[in-house]
Amino acid sequence: MLCGIIRIMNKFIIKHEEYIKRTYQLAKSAQEKGNHPFGALLVIDNKVVFTAENSVISDNDITRHAELNLVSKVTQELDPEALSQGILYTSTEPCAMCTGAIFWAGISNIVYGCSAVVLGEIAGGTFVVPCRDLLKYGKRQINVVGPVLEDQGAAIHRNFWKASE
Amino acid sequence: MLCGIIRIMNKFIIKHEEYIKRTYQLAKSAQEKGNHPFGALLVIDNKVVFTAENSVISDNDITRHAELNLVSKVTQELDPEALSQGILYTSTEPCAMCTGAIFWAGISNIVYGCSAVVLGEIAGGTFVVPCRDLLKYGKRQINVVGPVLEDQGAAIHRNFWKASE
């Protein structure tokens, strides 16, 4: 029984890592377009159904974080039942704005790569809000997993913000 | 001296009430278009420079709250220096998503009509986050005034959510 549970958990850990690596690719893709290095995707039934990148610079709009772009897309395309089954993977722990958007979208599972605290240390964060703190205000349970492969995510940020100095 | 201070404060209170009444008009306008009753505007140098309404239903996008729509517009049009001088007026205390957006925009003054707690009581709020609680995480000071003319804002919500039941 115990072996079975461990096998299942390992399977999920491997899946989480696989999808977080995809968000890191999206983050790098955003950076290549002149944006900030953040990416996110939504998985339903073990399939990636939507992806999004940060587009703050290219859209000249401070709200265009990867997760907010993703939530905009998915609430236009999917019904609440589908959203409640989805897992939102994001390269970096969602900020307060994006955590709020994720809550309103009815998404109940978040997995993030690099933590907000580590991003804050690298980028000189002025508004570091751990998403679990904020989600305590919610009457709906949202499951949060992270950090996952944080070193890889932190390296992307270190490279970007060092170059921006 | 004291009389002078009271006169200045009264002048500001009157201004706040005037602009909050305008946000209530915007909230009613949103409702007339089939959206949720929320409105917001940005004042710089005592002039309304941008207005926005909730457009969640008409845009089929859960992120399109009035304040987020406003922040999208103003960060596309105004420079950070102008934004830091602005006052964002909103018909209802901004949610976590919108408070985050306001912070990222560099806006330093918020005045709201109806409080999040009162909205939550009327609408059965599932994610009631007083914006002052959230802004404590910020390293930049944001001045918050409210509630202002809360009874009028609450009446708009009571009318809307009663009709939605």
Over the stretch B31-46, which tens digit does the pLDDT of each residue have? 999 999 999 999 998 9
**A5/B109: higher pLDDT:** B109
Question: Which residue of B lies nearest to A130 if distances are taken between CA atoms?
Answer: B137
**Residues of B with Cβ-Cβ distance to A101 under 8 angstroms:** 62-63, 97
Among B129, B132, B139, which would you mutate to test the A interface (most chain A Cβ atoms within 10 Å of its Cβ)? B129
pLDDT per residue as tens digits for the range B42-83: 999 899 999 999 999 999 999 999 999 999 999 999 998 999
Q: Which residue among B76, B103, B126 places its CB closest to the CB of A127?
A: B103
Tell me if ipTM is over 0.90: yes
Q: Does any CB of chain B come closer than 8 Å to the CB of residue A12?
A: no
**A133/B163: higher pLDDT:** A133
Q: Does any CB of chain B come closer than 8 Å to the CB of residue A76?
A: yes
| Residues of A involved in catalysis | 67
- Can you list the residues of chain A whose pLDDT is less than 70? 1-14, 165
Q: Do B105 and A62 make contact, defined as CB atoms within 8 angstroms?
A: yes
**Mean pLDDT to the nearest integer, B11-29:** 89
Q: Do A140 and B134 make contact, defined as CB atoms within 8 angstroms?
A: no
CB count within 10 Å of CB A12 equals 13
Whether the CB-CB separation of A102 and A75 falls below 8 Å is answered with no
Question: Which residue of A lies nearest to B100 if distances are taken between CA atoms?
Answer: A97
Query: How many residues does the structure list for chain B?
Result: 165
CA B73 to CA B95: how far, in whole Å?
18
Q: What are the angstrom distances between the C-alpha of B162 and each of A92, A108, B152, B156?
A: 40, 28, 15, 10
pLDDT at B23: 98
pTM: 0.92
pLDDT per residue as tens digits for the range A2-29: 555 555 555 566 689 999 999 999 999 9
